[in-house]
Amino acid sequence: MQDVVGQIDWKRYELIPTIVQEKQSQQILMLAYSSKQSLELSLQTHLGHYFSRSKQRIWQKGEQSGHIQHIKEVRLDCDNDSLLFIVEQVGAACHTGAQSCFFHTFSLDKSCQNIPIFSPQKYPMGIYHILDELYHIIEQRRYESVKDSYSASLLAKGANGIGKKIIEEAGELCFALKDRDEEAIIYECADLFYHILVGLALEHIAPERILQELRRRMGQSGIEEKASRKH
């Protein structure tokens, strides 16, 4: 399987679309992207590794949930620009808990009615972070009616509208802190976190990238970190 790496023009394609299919059922589980390094890791470990465009890093499928993918076969298409992984899936492939990420179908005979064909939350989410879960829900709301979804209405307002709400919620948190009202502090902080996630979703920035930045600053004093920004 190692030969597949050399057949891809990595100077032309930094990322290769990678379809993942379950071996026994032949069900399409997900679509991800492979970089040269992630593909090499997949081939070396026989576990699904991919490059996350939102997190901007290589990740192993199931690194948090335990829902790993054992790779049984790798196929390269005729143009050498897309991959197919045949895998044995442990647990769920989708972050929602559904077996497959493709759990909605659109009927062309009934005005494209949205019909779920798999049941989300079939598998437990494990330690999948609540911020990640909420972020993905907000991303999904982007395509819903602004009349039916508050998240969709916020995203439709763009950066200015979302920015005003973040400032408003931050102010309410400050007043709660001033009043030393523990219940209000928790409530208003949750509101602020939510609206910040909407702002991140507007620019397709996953929460993990913020956590990575905080991790980068660990071990560095706040004074030093702020001084480094001036340069």
Interval 93-119: pLDDT, tens: 887 778 898 887 776 766 555 555 444
pLDDT mean across residues, the chain:
86
Q: How confident is the model at residue 209 (pLDDT cuts 50, 70, 90)?
A: confident
| Residue 140: φ, ψ to 5° | -70, -35
| Residue 2: φ, ψ to 5° | -60, -25
State the span(s) of the chain assigned CATH 1.10.287.1080: 130-218
Closest by alpha carbon to 135, among 183, 199, 213? Answer: 199
* Domain spanning 3-92, CATH architecture: Roll (3.10)
State the span(s) of the chain assigned CATH 3.10.20.810: 3-92
Q: What CATH number belongs to 130-218?
A: 1.10.287.1080
pLDDT tens profile 22-45: 999 999 999 999 999 999 999 999
Helices (H) and strands (E) in the chain, counts: 7, 8
